[in-house]
Amino acid sequence: MKDTSCFITSPVLRRMAVVLAFLLFSAYPAWARPLVNSDIFVQVLQEAHALFAEDTEGVNADYIPELAKIPSELFGLALVTVDGRVFVAGDADYVFSIQSVSKPFTAALVLQEYDAPEILVERIGVEPTGLPFNSVLAVELHASRSVNPLVNAGAMAAVSLVPAEDKTERFLKIKQFYEAMAGQKLKVIKEVYRSEAATNQSNRAIANLLKKYGRIYADPEEALDVYTRQCAIGVSARVLAMMGATLANGGVNPISKKQVLEARYVPKVLALMLTAGFYDESGRWAYEVGLPAKTGVGGGIVAVVPGEMAVAAFSPRLNQAGNSVRAMRAIEYVSQRLGLGLFQ
């Protein structure tokens, strides 16, 4: 009889077996996996909230005047698992404007509407900029012009790609997609929209530059207005965590069980979030935390643990890069305590 012991002991095959086991576990239905004791999630969120509650570093965004009015002491955390369990701490239900946390979700909608994974690469770009999220210079420096969907230039290009007859239909498509991700109705915060619309000269310049280079696909003023409304949609840490958990769950909302985004597009969205979700701090976030995440100047951040959960946090005080100081530190703490980083 042929000796097969070498195949059993082969280091290469052992590694392949480990990889296969991991893939099988990842594909195993989330509802059928053993549930982690909920107490640990409650404990860790409470620890994170207590640890950073007195942190006063950073300042509210003031280039959108309405954001400067948000009480700086607000601080909320939320965690939603792919089996639909929800855990919160602090001001998790305070409604604030989604701002740039909206960008990966519009990119996801574009992927789904065109049913083409190459659409973002060809029509926008997917490379990080290494520059501020609202940089006009980035449009001139990068060959793709719009750079990626998670900076302002690429986000307006993504909005312009959403198929629609007019701006009303385009915004409605975006809003309804967000609502399906969140599993609930959402509203525009009108005061934030008006404030941002009155002070968005930089974004108007970017939109017109994209028009010059043929990298925006609707009227630039229309795309700018829809993008501004998109950024003013009201969410909470709880809502963001649910939207993130829908991504973590292969595009299926954990509560409604609706397949909102085709599973094959989820890795594309998460890759964008990991490489460009924190603007010019994205490399540091990936290095220290190792989770796909998206931040916004409204003070919100959502981080996704594929196949497991999403963690969201809100605090309006921002650092110089435009990222919420307390939200960032709190999510990093939760990730470390629960061992969530993808590279651990």
pTM for this one?
0.87
| Known binding residues for substrate | 100, 152, 196, 203, 227, 279, 297
Of 304, 300, 289, 302, the C-alpha closest to 322 is 300
Mean pLDDT, residues 8-35 taken together? 43
Of 285, 237, 279, 258, the C-alpha closest to 88 is 237
Does CATH place domain 37-338 in 3.40.50.300?
Answer: no
Question: Tens digit of pLDDT for each residue in 116-163?
Answer: 989 999 999 998 765 555 555 555 555 555 679 999 999 999 999 999
Residues contacting residue 190 through CB under 8 Å, at least 6 positions apart: 232
Question: Tens digit of pLDDT for each residue in 158-187?
Answer: 999 999 999 999 999 999 999 999 999 999
pLDDT for 34 beyond 70: no
Of 270, 276, 277, 283, the C-alpha closest to 296 is 277
Look at strands 293-295 and 300-305 and give their pairing.
antiparallel
Question: Tens digit of pLDDT for each residue in 184-208?
Answer: 999 999 999 999 999 999 999 999 9
**DSSP assignment string, 315-342:** -S-B-TTS-BHHHHHHHHHHHHHHT--T
Residue 97 pairs in a beta bridge with: 234
pLDDT for 1 beyond 90: no
Domain boundaries, the chain: 37-338
Of 31, 34, 36, 52, the C-alpha closest to 339 is 36
pLDDT for 57 beyond 80: yes
Residues contacting residue 53 through CB under 8 Å, at least 6 positions apart: 75, 90
Distance CA 33, CA 25 (A): 9
Mean pLDDT, residues 30-49 taken together? 77
Q: Which residue has the tokens 């964008």?
A: 272
Distance CA 294, CA 156 (A): 17
Residue 260 is encoded by which pair of tokens?
A: 């909102």
| pLDDT the model gives residue 35 | 52
Residue 231 is encoded by which pair of tokens?
A: 């950024």
**DSSP assignment string, 140-206:** HHSTTSS--TTSHHHHHHHHHHS--SSHHHHHHHHHHHHHHHHTS---B-HHHHHHHHTT-HHHHHH
| Known binding residues | 100, 152, 196, 203, 227, 279, 297
Residue that wins the pLDDT comparison between 234 and 212? 234
